[in-house]
Amino acid sequence: AQKVTQAQTEISVVEKEDVTLDCVYETRDTTYYLFWYKQPPSGELVFLIRRNSFDEQNEISGRYSWNFQKSTSSFNFTITASQVVDSAVYFCALSEAPTSGTYKYIFGTGTRLKVLA
């Protein structure tokens, strides 16, 4: 069965520190997709990145980077030089592409990041 684990419930860092948010997933499918979403204090959910199971290349976007490792079933998210505006709840999510053609999304429980000035 699908499962996404975000073991870090809450992380606090001081501004300009680097921080890594962990995401571990379980799936039986060979084709699947991983996502990160951000939920700032205002409450909306914002898409950040997706990765498919065939692409293990790490990605960097400004201060954000993502490390996908199939060997450890992890898709970790690093914020470099954190800023107060990074304070939010971050969700990791998984979807599969079964032959049935239907699919569910499974979200982790989220990690609340607090960046202190």
Partner 1 sequence: EAQVTQNPRYLITVTGKKLTVTCSQNMNHEYMSWYRQDPGLGLRQIYYSMNVEVTDKGDVPEGYKVSRKEKRNFPLILESPSPNQTSLYFCASSLGRANYEQYFGPGTRLTVT
- The beta strands (E) that lie in 1-117 are given as 3-5, 10-14, 19-21, 24-26, 32-39, 46-52, 59-61, 64-69, 74-79, 88-96, 105-107, 111-116
Nearer to partner 1, 99 or 117 (CB): 99
Q: How far is the CB of 81 from partner 1 (least distance, A)?
A: 25
Nearer to partner 1, 19 or 93 (CB): 93
Place of tokens 């053609």: 101
Q: Does 33 bind partner 1 (CB under 8 A)?
A: yes
Q: What is the amino acid identity at position 62?
A: G
**Which tokens hold the place of 25?**
């997933």
Q: Does 3 bind partner 1 (CB under 8 A)?
A: no
Q: How far is the CB of 104 from partner 1 (least distance, A)?
A: 6
CA atoms within 13 A on the CB side of 71: 1
Q: Does 52 bind partner 1 (CB under 8 A)?
A: yes
Applying the rule CB under 8 A, the residues between 70 and 99 that interact with partner 1 are: 91, 93, 95-97
| Residues lying near partner 1 in the complex (CB under 8 A) | 6, 9, 31-33, 35, 43-45, 47, 50, 52, 91, 93, 95-97, 101-110
